[in-house]
Structure 1
């Protein structure tokens, strides 16, 4: 597995070793020991989530705070998304910065997002099946978010705002990143 740390400390892109032949392909999508050694920390995932979305669906930017904060390992099973992680860790050298990674069924890349980050994605293909592992259980009272078009973050979602499909809940998230400081 190839592991690359992004500009955000503790946030990694993982690329599995894929074995392909005329029958198709095989790869190990997750191995606890290999994963923890690769990122240099112990992470125990306790919950798997999966979503299906159509082109233009934008989900995020979401996070869990306090004792319910979650680290995530995300990947695309079918389709193509632009995945975004935002560092919300006060005192971090990359606090308030974000990283964007295109995850596709073809490139099989995964993104590890540590606790203390907001996360979101937009679907770039006609449809997408998105899968992620979490190291903590979801808790409704601990959820938070930042509006996808926050001007401080200035995220290029690679899709025009007119083509975005955003839930009412996500449209009503706080408009400014600096509200979290």
Structure 2
């Protein structure tokens, strides 16, 4: 059984699989449905995604509006990222709070991100990032919060961030509150 760690934000769960190293390399289970079920989380994963990003890249903060909202189970296959989530759940006591953790190929840790969060990451070492989604991607339902919104105060831990034009155009958290009626 992996080590499961709750976070300061309700619903987020960091998972550290049990790794079995030997002289040939290592083995570990990267996903088991019962890990989450034992925590009362029942998710039907329907899409897997993979990206490669060079050191210094910042991706996010992305989410999908209902009815296409997605829970995610994220991890790094190679390299290292700072994974960041922002609570956008309307009735959450931690609405507007963010949580970050290092995901890396050495520890092979995962982060479970429930529906209602914006998600992003910065690349600390060239990285292959993989994630399961509970819903299909839908372009018209796509949304985002500006990665460098000063109100969030996120330290992305990169000197000269490489950011897509799309990610430079997302709205601030304050604008999101106004446009969404207070949250997802």
> Could you tell me how far apart the structure 1 residues matched to 2:54 and 2:145 are?
22
Aligned to 1:4: 5
Post-superposition offset of 1:48: 0.1
Unaligned runs of 5+ in 2: 178-184
How far apart are 1:152 and its partner, in Å? 1.3
SS at 1:33 equivalent: helix
What is residue 14 of structure 1 aligned with on the other side?
Answer: 15
TM-score using structure 2 length: 0.93
**In 2, Cα distance between the equivalents of 1:123 and 1:49?**
17
Q: Provide the rounded CA distance (Å) in 1 between the counterparts of 2:67 and 2:90.
A: 16
Deviation at 1:2, TM superposition (A): 0.8
The match for 2:137 is: 138
- Partner SS, residue 67 of structure 2: helix
| 3-state DSSP of counterpart to 2:140 | helix
Deviation of 1:5 after TM superposition, in Å, equals 1.1
Alignment pair present for 1:164 and 2:161: yes
Distance 1:16 1:102 in 2: 15
Provide the TM-score with structure 1 as the length reference.
Answer: 0.95
The alignment partner of 1:34 has SS state of helix
Gaps spanning 5+ residues in structure 1: where?
none
Q: 1: CA distance between counterparts of 2:127 and 2:49?
A: 14
User: How big is the shift at 1:34?
Assistant: 2.6
What SS is found at the alignment partner of 1:178?
Answer: helix
Instruction: Tell me the matched-pair count.
Output: 176
How far residue 40 of structure 1 moved from its aligned partner, in angstroms, is 1.5
Alignment of 1:84 with 2:84, yes or no, is: yes
Structure 1 residue runs of 4 or more that deviate by more than 4 Å after TM superposition: none
Mapping for residues 1-181 of structure 1, pairs under 5 Å: 1-37=2-38, 39-125=39-125, 127-160=126-159, 163-174=160-171, 176-181=172-177
Distance in 2 of aligned mates of 1:54 and 1:99: 22
RMSD, aligned CA: 0.8
Aligned-partner Cα distance in 1 for 2:15–2:109:
6
Shift in Å at residue 179 of structure 1? 1.1
Give the Å deviation of 1:21: 1.1
